[in-house]
Amino acid sequence: MSMPMKRPILIHPDPRLKKPAPPVTEITDELRALSKDMLETMYAAPGIGLAAPQIGVSARLIVLDCIKDEDATPRPLVMLNPEIRAVSDERSVYEEGCLSIPDIYAEVERPAEATVRWTDADGKEHEETFDGLWATCVQHEIDHLDGKLFIDYLTPMKRQIITRKMVKLKKDRARDD
C-alpha cells in the first residue's frame, strides 16, 4: 500500500463544487486510498472536514475529525454515502470556514444535533447522533455532496463579496505559479 498523499483542494468558485455527487456503489482499494489521501489533506491543511468534491472527485465521501486538542486522541471518520436521518429543533450558531474558501469565516445557523447514517471504508454501517462542532461539521460536509457551500446560507450580497475575493485569490495564485 502506498503512502497517503496530499491532494490539491479546489477553490470556490468552481463548477465541480456546485455539482451534486453520486453515491458510492463499490468499496474498492482505490476508494480506500482516496479516503486516506483525504484525511492526509485535511489534517495538513489544517481542517476538520473535507468532502470528495473539494478535491475534484464526484462521489458521496467525506472525512472529518473535530478533535482539536493536540493532546486528545484523534477520531478520523470516513463516511461513505452519509445521510442525515434526523435533526434537532434546537439550533446553534458556529463561525464556519471551508478549505475551498480560505481565510473566510462567517456565522451559520444549523440544527444543533444531527443523526447521521453512513458506511465506513470497511463496508460497516453506522448511525450516530452528533452535537456541538461535530454536528455543524458533518452537516457542512454533507452539504458539499449536494453542491452546497456554507456561503450559500449568507445574504447574496455577502456571498458576492466573498466570491469576488476568491476570484482574486485564484488569479493571484495562478500568477505566482
List, as one string, the DSSP characters of 113-138.
EEEEEEE-TTS-EEEEEEEHHHHHHH
The candidate with the shortest Cα–Cα distance to 45, out of 33, 63, 21, is 63
Question: Which residues are 94's β-sheet partners?
Answer: 108
Nearer to Ni ion, 24 or 51 (CB): 51
Question: Which residue's Cβ has the minimum distance to Ni ion?
Answer: 98
**Strand extents, DSSP E, the chain:** 49-51, 61-64, 77-87, 91-98, 101-111, 113-119, 125-131
Count other Cβ atoms within 10 Å, centred on residue 172. 10
Residues that bind Ni ion (CB under 5 A): 98
Nearer to Ni ion, 105 or 168 (CB): 105
- Reply yes or no on whether 107 is catalytic: no
**Marked catalytic residue, from 70, 95, 113, 141:** 141
Nearer to Ni ion, 55 or 112 (CB): 55
What span, in angstroms and rounded, lies between the C-alpha atoms of 142 and 166? 22
Nearer to Ni ion, 28 or 132 (CB): 132
What are the C-alpha distances in Å from 115 to residues 55, 109, 143? 26, 17, 15
Round to the nearest angstrom and report the end-to-end CA distance of the chain. Answer: 31
Contact indicator for 38, 7 with CB cutoff of 8 Å:
yes
Annotated catalytic residues are 141
